[in-house]
Amino acid sequence: MAKRNWPDHPAVGLQIGVRFGENRIEALVVDAKDDPMVVDTSTFDRPEADIRGTIILRIKLPGGEEKWLPPTDGQKLCEWAAKQRDAAAGGDA
């Protein structure tokens, strides 16, 4: 088992669906780490930039191999993880 970067992140321990080419598999989130900020300045006619924090997840595949996924939106991931945990605890999701 590799060194863990953020073992208490809300997404760690949850099952997620991951697409690899044509296949979709269920994988366990085993770790997370922060990623550089993403700045969207695609339209220069607005004075503010859209700045988001991203996160990278490490998953464990069904065969036991661990793999890092591409960066994902950190805020949306945390909101999703909270809903999953509430549903598992019997709350409204």
> Which residues have CB under 8 Å from 90's CB, separation 6+?
none
Confidence of residue 9 (pLDDT cuts 50, 70, 90): confident
Give the residue-averaged pLDDT of 71-81: 86
User: Average model confidence (pLDDT) for the chain?
Assistant: 84
Which residue has better confidence, 49 or 22?
A: 22
pLDDT at 45: 67
CA 67, 76, 89 angle in degrees (round to 5)?
85
> Which residues have CB under 8 Å from 7's CB, separation 6+?
31
Which residue has better confidence, 37 or 67?
A: 67
Confidence of residue 36 (pLDDT cuts 50, 70, 90): confident
pLDDT at 76: 86
